Chains A and B, each alone.
Chain A
Amino acid sequence: MSSNAQNVPAEFPIPIDHDHRVPVRSGGKAAVATLMRPVDAVSADIPKVALSDICLSYRTAKGERLLALDNINLQVRAGEFLCIVGPSGCGKSTLLHLIAGLHHQTSGQVLVDGKAVQGPGTDRILIFQELGLFPWLTVGQNVEFGMKMKGMSKAAREEKVRYYLRLVHLSQFRDSYTHQLSGGMRQRVALARALATEPDVLLMDEPFAALDAQTRDLLHDELERIWAETGRTIIFVTHNVREAIRLGDRVALLTFRPGRVKSQFPVDLPRPRHLEDIAVARAAREVLDELREEINRSLEVEYHDGIKPHVKTEVEL
């Protein structure tokens, strides 16, 4: 992570933990694990995902040029769980779209395994905030979709669909349509659909924001388990700091417009963690202190009538 250091602002509070702890792998189910494609072995010095000098600007309706992302440099190791937090409007979702290849940056490069991203690819699957499940397909067909596009045989797809639906505990809902499911179940369909395409990198855009607290807790546990079982690299965007600490190996904090990497926090808490853990809350506090400045800045711009709203905590804790 040497190139990263130069982009970290001077006030960076904690040095990045270079020799990172191996995530706790919960006892994998060997019988089913054989179905999963092993993660590509890449040499340790090439990061799985590297964002180098990413800038993105666009023209607003008024014709002004707006800088959305400013010189983003981030590196994600294979198998790492990186959380990105920031106030709304900092471009964190856009960043995921760039990695997914659905949009193109104005300058800079997205590298996956050292190769520049040119467009969408099934090595990186994005789970959209709105999920984007296909309502005309059943749960099973949704999960199958990516494999079908790859031209995989029906028999092979069948087996994988069964496997991934079991992984997210939705086997019984295979023939349901997505609108018949609850929000949490739909979330799990999206997760299964993404995993079934067997990406190396899973990009998640505030996936649990609209869920009730109980469902979210449950999905945190499941995501952590699935991450440990599958060994995928996850880049997870959220505005919820405590969620980021709960899940991440590392938390990157983006500034408000234009989005820059303000600081990064390694999270060295043992897994499995819980949202209510005191250690999680304490770590979140630290990130939040920095985030609050950005939130205040974003609120100033939002209200921009000169009144400085000094909101103590506008983020979910």
Chain B
Amino acid sequence: MKRAARYFIFYAALFGLWVLLAKLKIWPPYLFPTPWGVGESLWAGFSDNSYWIAIMVSMRRVLIGYGISVVLGMLLGLGVSSNKFLEETMGGLLVSLQSLPSICWWPLALLWFGLNQNAILFVVIMGSLLSVTMAMEDGRKQMPKIFGMAGRNLGAHRFQLFWYVLLPASLPYIVSGLKQGWAFAWRSLITAEMLYVSLGLGQVLMMGRETSDMNAVIAVMILIIAIGYVVDGIVFKSMERHLQHKWGLAPA
């Protein structure tokens, strides 16, 4: 209850400050969008369905791209962590590749896949794959060795061992990496969408720029943040909580 009150006070104050600055008219509205202007933009965007469409298109892309990243990343991470040679060689490469913003792949992606959805997906995958791979590799190392031994001892072989033991055993250790991977996927997606007429949220934002409609730009930024918050705060938080409960790691 108290926490909700604190949240409310903070956001109300932030909003109040925005209203105050807009009312004072220090800057013209095209430089500093007003809350009511942004509100109108949001209303208009949702009532003519353009925001709904943009959200659906972007979500679909990020889900596909991220899904592929998770599957590939887990297999890759498992492979890297189970082989000393790969760990020493690939491990270092993966870390250094992570300093590369995934949008750097865009020019190549355009050549390889053409100016279409697949190029965007490629950038999204490159954005999140490394996080998932490294999380899996790390999780595998942090995971108590006894689970793997117990699994083998009870007769689990290869795929069974991976699916029924190593994967569930590493989940609490990789959930933060999965979360980070999602954040990277989402950012890469928006960036890629901004570069190409693509129907997604990124493109809607760029349209705001081209028509000098800063209200629309802020409105879309709010949407991007809101979606990020919802996925992180609802999907990943509940996953974490569920895992903690199951594993007995919860504070009570």
Instruction: Report how far A179 CA is from B245 CA in the complex, Å.
Output: 10
Known: A120-B152, A122-B155, A145-B154. A134 touches B147 (CB 8 A): yes
Contact of B149 among A102, A149, A180 (CB under 8 A): A102
Are B248 and A122 in contact, CB atoms less than 8 angstroms apart?
no
Q: In chain A between 134 and 163, which residues have their CB closer than 8 angstroms to a CB of chain B?
A: 134-137, 145-146, 148-150
Write out the residue numbers on chain B whose beta carbons fall within 8 Å of the beta carbon of A149.
154-157, 160, 164
Known: A120-B155, A128-B149, A150-B155. A145 touches B164 (CB 8 A): yes
Write out the residue numbers on chain B whose beta carbons fall within 8 Å of the beta carbon of A177.
246-248
Closest CB-CB distance, A110 to chain B, in whole Å?
Answer: 15
B153 within 8 A of A: yes
Contact of A100 among B153, B157, B243, B247 (CB under 8 A): B153
Nearest A residue to B149 by beta-carbon distance? A102
B165 within 8 A of A: yes
Write out the residue numbers on chain A whose beta carbons fall within 8 Å of the beta carbon of B168.
134, 136-137
Known: A128-B150, A132-B150. A179 touches B247 (CB 8 A): yes
Contact of A146 among B155, B171, B246 (CB under 8 A): B155
A76 within 8 A of B: no
The count of chain A contact residues (Cβ–Cβ below 8 Å) is 26
Are A102 and B154 in contact, CB atoms less than 8 angstroms apart?
no
Nearest A residue to B247 by beta-carbon distance? A135
Contact with A along B238-249 (1 / 0, CB 8 A): 000001001110
| Closest A-B pairs by Cβ, 9 of them | A179-B248, A132-B150, A146-B154, A132-B146, A122-B155, A149-B155, A136-B168, A135-B247, A120-B152
Instruction: Please name 23 pairs of A and B residues whose Cβ atoms are closer than 8 Å in the assembled complex, sorted by A.
Output: A100-B153, A102-B149, A120-B155, A121-B155, A125-B153, A132-B146, A132-B149, A134-B147, A134-B150, A134-B165, A134-B168, A134-B169, A136-B168, A136-B243, A136-B246, A137-B168, A145-B154, A145-B156, A146-B155, A149-B154, A149-B157, A149-B160, A180-B248
